Amino acid sequence: MPDQQPLKVGILGATGTVGQRFITLLSTHPWFTIHALGASSRSAGKPYSVAVNWKQTTPLPSLIKDIVVQECVPQAFAECAVVFSGLDADVAGDIESAFRAAELAVFSNAKNYRRDPHVPLIVPLVNPDHLSILPQQQALHSPPLTKGFIVTNANCSTTAHVIPLAALEKAFGPLDALMVTTLQAISGAGYPGVPSLDIIDNVVPYISGEEEKIEWETRKILGGISTSDTLQEFDMHADTPLKISAACNRVPVTVGHMINVSLQFARRPPPSPQQVCEALRAYQPDAQLVGCPSAPLQTITVHDEPDRPQPRMDRAFQEGAGVSVGRVRQCPVFDIKFVVLADNVSIGAATSSIINAEYAVLKGVVQ
């Protein structure tokens, strides 16, 4: 890749919260160059700096200011080797489908196609090998495709906890039960998102649809792909019927989802807390080994201090591309409990899409 020309990329939903993070991250990317920005017709035709209500804590990159926002139609993105989607779910379905049909490679944060049996749901630090479903996705499309496809990445909370879970399954074999309680940042709800009257001096023990997403997506990501006849199928963690219960809370934190995890391994006796720490620290996902430039140097940082990780202190480490784990200890009910923290807007959203695309480039899936 280093020898090639920069690849042109487009961003759908460019004015939204995730779209803004895409811009921040991609404006200095070593391989990708922002070529087209798509948003709603209300924004289309305006320079990006006029269309956007910029809410990042770093300034809008000056090279981006004057790019004229486009409608989200494939023609405007025809030259893009990769199209990143930060679209809202209410429009993502049709638009992403149209882009794929136009032979564009779509890497999406939206939830619409995550449960599609031919669309991979990829947390890049866990299961980028699920890209192998793409030929089938293209072949079964009507008409069949040669370049177009959709790759999704996971819900921001799912992404956070599935990374250490993958490290533990790799080291100690399958999990069989998992109880997670989230404390999720307001940025996860986009902008304007959570009204301040609902969250100052308060927490809200409910996020619509979130618990179901965590319980379902975790199985697809941690599971493998089985082949029956010639059809590939996501096995949804068939090796062990993985029971998962999630309880989701919104907390007055700007960025950084924190998750309390208790888990049980299939194997007896289970690993000790110290063995768990070692396995987490040693975890090197394929995306890191093959050289994705946005992958973190250290995928999982394990804290020894009793009171870490914390959102405000740890979210920005490694530009939010890794996850932090702490308080690894025995669970009196299950085997092990610990705390995970991830930047919900970076590795929880835009960074995951970007590493997925980097991996696809390295594997020749994106041409």
Catalytic residues: 156, 257
C-alpha distances in Å from residue 2, one per residue of 10, 285, 286, 361: 20, 21, 19, 11
Specify the residue, 102 or 331, whose C-beta has the smaller distance to a second copy.
Answer: 331
**Residue 201 C-beta: closest distance to a second copy, Å:** 4
Nearer to a second copy, 90 or 201 (CB): 201
* Cα torsion through 191, 193, 197, 200, rounded to 10: -80
Query: Of 143 and 269, which has the nearer Cβ to a second copy?
Result: 269
Rounded least distance, CB 18 to a second copy, Å: 13
Residue number with CB closer to a second copy (87 or 339): 339
Binding site for a second copy (CB under 8 A): 55, 57-59, 177-179, 181, 183, 186-187, 191-206, 208, 215, 243-245, 247, 249, 251-254, 258, 260, 262, 306-313, 316-317, 326-327, 331-334, 337, 339
Return the DSSP state at 252: S
Q: What is the CA radius of gyration of the chain?
A: 20
Shortest separation between residue 318's beta carbon and a second copy, angstroms: 10
- Helix axis angle for 210-222 and 156-172, nearest 10°, is 30
| Element holding 38 (H helix, E strand) | strand 32-39
Facing residues of 257 across strands?
A: 342
3-class DSSP assignment, residue 17 = helix
Closer to a second copy at the Cβ: 13 or 148? 13
Tell whether omega for the bond before 2 is within 30 degrees of 0, i.e. cis: no
d(C-alpha 20, C-alpha 86), whole Å: 9
Residue whose entry in the numeric block shows the structure tokens 């023990």: 205
How many other β-carbons are positioned within 10 Å of the β-carbon of residue 63?
12
Cβ-Cβ contacts under 8 Å for 138 (sequence gap 6 or more): 144, 145, 146, 148, 149
Cβ closer to a second copy: 73 or 247? 247
* Cα distance between residue 346 and residue 353, in whole Å: 9
Q: Would strands 32-39 and 70-71 be described as parallel, antiparallel, or unpaired?
A: parallel
- Closest by alpha carbon to 88, among 107, 71, 106, 110? 110
